Amino acid sequence: MTMPASVVRTLVVLPPQVETLSGSLSRGRAGLLGGYTLDWTWSPGDLLTGRIAAGVELQGPDTRLEGRIEATPFAVSAHDLRGRAGAGLLALFPRLAVESCSPRAVVAIDSLSAGRRAFAAQGAIETSQGVCLDRNGTEIPVPAMVMGLSTQGADANAVLSDDTGTTLARLAVTGERMLRVTVEPQGAALVPGMPSSAPTSLAMPF
């Protein structure tokens, strides 16, 4: 566990967002695009309990998030994710239709988990009002929003609402390994070119 973190490059193909690795396998840092860093700390003793548990912290010019990640042979989960996230994180996802955004998010997620046939979520993410630019330079006004996370049976659910309480979209990750997304007319109206005369629904197996 005291081996350099850079040895990971010889074991797996890292995503292009990872620019540097430093520290050790048990306590290290990944340097990401845009000046962001991801730090982790974990104890090899956790392997004796059949799990890996690591404290993680994501930092950058506009972001500071910390929490705990756990993995067992049956599920992967995140706990107590807290902090703020800036729109600069969008640069880590180059295929997004949005070029840049000004809103920031406050993250208060108690838990997220993904198993073979069960998913769960609890907490909330609040974003401020602002403006996004698409790749054509078109400004898209964005209202203040709240995404509430909850669990029902083996399904993890998310409901996105604006600051008036109007539901904009719903998302469910089901125990049947289906991703279901419903965009309400009020939410579709925020996306240029998207039909907003009726709810739009999408279901994809994974």
Residue 43 falls within a domain, yes or no? no
Q: Is residue 69 within 8 Å of 58, Cβ to Cβ? A: no
Residue 41 falls within a domain, yes or no? no
Q: Is residue 177 within 8 Å of 206, Cβ to Cβ? A: yes
Residue 36 falls within a domain, yes or no? no
Domain that holds residue 64: 53-205
Residue of 152 and 94 predicted with greater confidence: 152
% the chain with pLDDT above 90: 72
Residue 61 falls within a domain, yes or no? yes
Question: What's the pLDDT score for residue 151?
Answer: 98
pLDDT tens digits, one per residue of 2-24: 789 888 888 889 999 999 999 99
Contacts of residues 35-44 at CB distance under 8 Å and 24 or more positions apart, as own/partner, are 35/60, 35/61, 36/60, 36/61, 36/63, 36/88, 36/89, 36/92, 40/69, 44/1
* pLDDT tier for residue 91 given thresholds of 50, 70 and 90: confident
What's this model's pTM, rounded to 2 decimal places?
Answer: 0.88
Distance CA 43, CA 52 (A): 8
Question: What's the pLDDT score for residue 10?
Answer: 86
Residue 197 falls within a domain, yes or no? yes
Distance CA 123, CA 18 (A): 28
pLDDT tens digits, one per residue of 99-120: 889 999 999 999 999 999 999 9
Domain count, the chain: 1
Mean pLDDT value of segment 34-62: 91
Residue 33 falls within a domain, yes or no? no
Residue 150 falls within a domain, yes or no? yes
